[in-house]
Amino acid sequence: MPDEVNFIDLVALTRITPDTVAERFGGLINSSFFDASNILATLRQKGLIDFTTSFPGQSAVTITELGKKILTDAATDSQKEFGELDLTILTQLSNGKRTMQDLSGAINVRPTDLAMHLYKLGQQKYLMYDFRNGIVTITLTEKGFIQAKSGMPTPTPQAAQEKTSTVGAPQQLQGVGILPDQFQQAQPVGGVKAAVPASTPPSPTVDINQLEANIKKAKRKRVYGILVLFVAVIVVVAALVIKGVLKY
């Protein structure tokens, strides 16, 4: 099954050519005939390769459709950008994890995912691997060592620009009791166009004649009030005088 493909399977699969035969496969992976036979048997069991046997000739090794798909996926993933899992793998390698057994124990991911990322890191020159005696040994390159110590790479300007929010985008007016067609665009301020009223409502007209009449009426009331007060004072004084005369 595809989920069971590990990095050893993937590397062995990449070493198979159209003229590969089972009897000479050990030389392609720097392994003995016994180790090479075990690896080929594992690939055959997972459905990645098949054998074509012709007597008295040698057994040809062919990659199945599933095996071709695994190789295609690995080539596609090798073009992806450096990620968090890649950094974790490089960090573990810099800490001395060199074999698949060590990496699998330190990084809890699917064998296929780990295999794809290791292949990508190899294609991007972060690491190199050696297939010998049925075991893959992985070593960091200088580029991989520097990356493991420096952490995640700085985003490219294009990626940073995509993450930057745009300024000056139109916003929807909420809670305003004026229809949109009652506004016109004013001059931009700081990159944002402000909405202002299209026209100023006319001021109410003033009736001059009515205003003058109101003023005159107010004056008459004021004069009338003064006269009433004056008469009241005269009456009070007169009453006091009369009261004094009668007393004496």
pLDDT in tens, 45-62: 999 999 988 777 788 999
Q: With respect to residue 126, please indicate whether it lies within any of the assigned structural domains.
A: yes
Domain harbouring 10, CATH code? 1.10.10.10
Asked if the model's pLDDT at residue 197 lies above 70, the reply is no
Range of the domain at 12: 2-150
Q: With respect to residue 171, please indicate whether it lies within any of the assigned structural domains.
A: no
Tally of CB atoms within 10 A around 24: 13
Q: With respect to residue 130, please indicate whether it lies within any of the assigned structural domains.
A: yes
Q: With respect to residue 20, please indicate whether it lies within any of the assigned structural domains.
A: yes
Residue 178 banded pLDDT, cuts 50, 70, 90: very low
Predicted model pTM: 0.62
- Res 54: pLDDT: 73
How many domains, in total, are found in the chain? 1
Q: With respect to residue 178, please indicate whether it lies within any of the assigned structural domains.
A: no
Q: With respect to residue 239, please indicate whether it lies within any of the assigned structural domains.
A: no
Most confident of 119-133, 166-180, 200-214: 119-133
Which residues, at least 6 apart from 50, have a Cβ–Cβ distance to it below 8 Å?
44, 61, 62, 64
Q: With respect to residue 195, please indicate whether it lies within any of the assigned structural domains.
A: no
In the chain, the percentage of residues whose pLDDT exceeds 90 is 50
